[in-house]
Chain A
Amino acid sequence: MTTAAALPSTARMGLSRGKVEILQFSRDRTAVTFSFLFPAMLLLLFGSIFGDDYDQPGLSAAQIFSASMIAYGIVSTAFITMGVGIATDREDGTLKRLRGTPVTATAYFLGKLILVAALTVAEVAVLLAAGVAFFDLPLPTDAGRWFTFGWLLVLSVVACGLLGIAASALVRSARTAGAVLNVPVVALQFISGVFIHPITQLPDWMITVASVFPVKWMAQGFRSVFLPDTAAGLEAGGAWEHGRIALVLLAWCVIGSVLCLSTFRWTNTRDV
C-alpha cells in the first residue's frame, strides 16, 4: 500500500516549481524581452530627455532617474509578472493540474517567488548597468549602503510579489491581466516620485496618498543608496527615513500574505 512513502516537503516542491517557472519564462522570448527592456527603455528616455538640467552640483537628473527607476523595475517584474503569471496559470490549466496533485498552495507561491526574485535581480542588474554606462551613476563603495540595498531589495520583492498574487484574484482573464494591473502601477509611479523629481513638486494630497503604498518608499530607499546624502533634503520628509521605509514595506508584506491566503483561487469557476 501507499502508506509508507512520505509526501515531499513544501520546500522541496517549491524549489521544483521554481526551477520549471524559470525554465518556462526563459524560453518565452517575448516575455523576456518586454519585461527586461521596457524599464530600461524608460530609463534611457527619461534620462536623455531631462539629461543634466538639474541645479545640484555633482548630481544629474539622469542619475536620480537611474536610482528611482529600480523601484519601477521591481514593481514591473515582481507585481506585474506575478499577477499576469497566475492569471495565465489559471487559464491554461496549470493550476487545475497542480490542484489534482499533492502540491501545496505555499509550494506554488514559493515557486513563483523564486521566479520573481531571479527576474528582479536580473532586472536591477540591467538598470544599474544602463545607469552606470550612460549616466555615470556612481556605485556605492561602502558596505552600509549595499546592506541597505540588500534589505530594500528583499522587502520590495516579497511585498510586490505577494501583492501581485493577491491582485491576480481581481483579474478575470490572462488576456486583460497586463492592462488591468498596469493601471495602478503607472499611476503609482507618477504620484510616488519615480518619474517626477523632487517628489515635493507634487500636490500634498498626492504625496499623502502615495505614502500609503510601497512604491514611494522603495524609490526613496534606492535614492538613499545611490545618491549623496545631501539629496535627502529633497525628499518629502527631508530625510532618507530608513526606519519608516522598512516598517511600511514590512507592513505590506504582512498585508500581502493575508490578502493572498484569503483571496487565492485555484480555478476561475466561482463555485469551487
Chain B
Amino acid sequence: MTAIEVRGLRKTYGSRSAVSGIDLSVPHGEVFALLGPNGAGKTTTVEILEGHRRRDSGDVRVLGQDPAVGGRAWRARIGIVLQSATDVADLTVAETVRHIASLYPRPRPAAEVIELTGLGDKAKAKVRALSGGQRRRLDVALGIVGRPEIVFLDEPTTGFDPHARRQFWQLVRALAAEGTTILLTTHYLDEAEALADRLAVIADGVLVAEGTPATLGGRAGAGATVSWTGPAGPVSEQTADPVALIAKLTAAGDDLPGLTVTRPSLEDTYLALIGEQR
C-alpha cells in the first residue's frame, strides 16, 4: 500500500491555475521531496494532502483516506509541521509539547520528543525566547508528538543558518530511520539531495521530472566535463566517456595537473528543468 496516492490533482484560485494535473505516488517509509520555485504549486499541493485545502478535481489518498473528508482518526495518524506559526509564545516548550500530546490517542512521551528535536536544554524556556531554528524544531516536535505515520514538512529550513540546517537534517533522518513516511518541500537542492529517497520537480503547477537525486532529469546519463591544466593553460572537454578520454590523455605518460571530472549538479539539472517551463 502507498502512503500517498495522487491522480490528476487540480486547483484553481479564481482564474489562476495553481496545480494543473499532478500525479504522485509515495510508498510507506519513503522520504519524498517536492522541489520547485516559489509559486509553483508546492504548498497548495501539500495543503491539499494535509486536508487544509480543498481540491477542484482529481483523486487523492493519504494513508488510504481522502484528506478532504479525513476525520479525527485519520488526523491522529498524520503530522503537520507548520511553516510560519507564531502561536504559544507565552508557554514553555515542555508545556506546549505536553498540551499537543494530550490531543492524541497514543502520543510519544513529551520528554522524548523534546530530546529528539534537540530542545532538551530549552524545555523550560518560553517559546518567545527561542531562536528561529529552535522555534522550527519545536514545530517539528509538535508535528511528531502524536506518533504520525506520515509527516509533512513544508519548506522546513527556510531562514536557517548552515549549522541549524545540518542539525535539522539529522532530525529528519532520525524520523525516516524509524520508518516514518516524509513529504518534504524545499527550494534548496542540497537539502533534497541530502534527505530524499526520491524527488519530483514541480513548475507552473505540473510535474516536470521525477526520480532519485542521482537520476533526476537524466542526470546520470548526461555527459561529463573533463578539465585539466595543459601547457598552454586550462583546458576543458565535454565527453560521454570520461574514463576513455583520460586514458587517452595519459597514454603518453603526461601528467594532468588540476584534473577534474564533473557531471551536471542537481542544481544544473533542476535549473534546466524549470527553465524549460519558463
Contact = CB atoms under 8 A, between A and B. Distances in A.
B87 interface: yes
Nearest to A88: B87
A57 interface: no
Given A7-B72, A102-B72, A102-B75, A97 B90 contact: no
A99 B102 contact: no
A13 B102 contact: yes
A16 B76 CA distance: 17
A246 to B, nearest CB: 36
A57 B87 CA distance: 54
Contacts of A6: 105
Contacts of B100: 97, 101
B52 A100 contact: yes
A20 B99 contact: yes
A12 interface: yes
Nearest to B126: A27
B85 interface: yes
A228 interface: no
Contacts of B52: 96, 99-100, 267, 272
B106 interface: yes
A103 B100 CA distance: 9
Contact of B105 (A8, A24, A97): A8
Nearest to A6: B105
A186 B19 CA distance: 47
Contacts of A103: 103
Contact of A2 (B79, B96, B149): B149
B54 A102 contact: no
B106 A8 contact: no
A93 B142 CA distance: 13
A4 to B, nearest CB: 8
A262 interface: no
A24 B54 contact: no
A12 B103 CA distance: 9
A23 interface: yes
B64 to A, nearest CB: 12
A92 B87 contact: yes
B106 A2 contact: yes
A99 B142 CA distance: 13
A97 B147 CA distance: 16
Interface in B25-53: 50-53
A235 interface: no
B78 interface: yes
Contact of B78 (A97, A100, A104): A100
A8 B87 CA distance: 23
B87 A100 contact: no
Contacts of B79: 100
Interface residues of A, number: 32
Contacts of B85: 92-94, 96-97
A2 B90 contact: no
Nearest to A96: B82
A271 B44 CA distance: 12
Contacts of A16: 99, 102-103
Interface string B63-101: 000000000110111111010111111110001100110
A163 B90 CA distance: 26
A101 B54 contact: no
B133 interface: no
A256 to B, nearest CB: 25
Given A2-B77, A102-B105, A20 B95 contact: yes
Contacts of B84: 93
A12 B105 contact: no
A272 B51 CA distance: 9
Nearest to B86: A92
28 contacts: A2-B76, A7-B72, A7-B73, A7-B105, A8-B103, A8-B105, A13-B103, A20-B95, A20-B96, A23-B90, A23-B91, A24-B88, A24-B90, A27-B91, A28-B90, A92-B85, A92-B89, A93-B82, A93-B84, A94-B85, A96-B52, A96-B82, A97-B100, A102-B103, A102-B104, A271-B54, A272-B53, A272-B54
Interface of A: 2, 5-8, 12-13, 16-17, 19-20, 23-24, 27-28, 89, 92-94, 96-104, 267, 269, 271-272
- Please list the 9 inter-chain residue pairs (A to B) with the smallest Cβ-Cβ separation, ordered nearest first: A93-B85, A5-B105, A100-B80, A27-B90, A94-B87, A5-B106, A102-B72, A16-B102, A102-B76
Given A7-B76, A8-B104, A13-B103, 19 more contacts: A5-B105, A5-B106, A16-B102, A23-B90, A24-B90, A92-B85, A96-B82, A96-B85, A100-B82, A100-B143, A101-B75, A101-B100, A102-B72, A102-B75, A102-B76, A102-B103, A102-B104, A271-B13, A271-B53
Interface of B: 13, 50-54, 72-73, 75-80, 82, 84-91, 95-96, 99-100, 102-106, 142-143, 146-147, 149
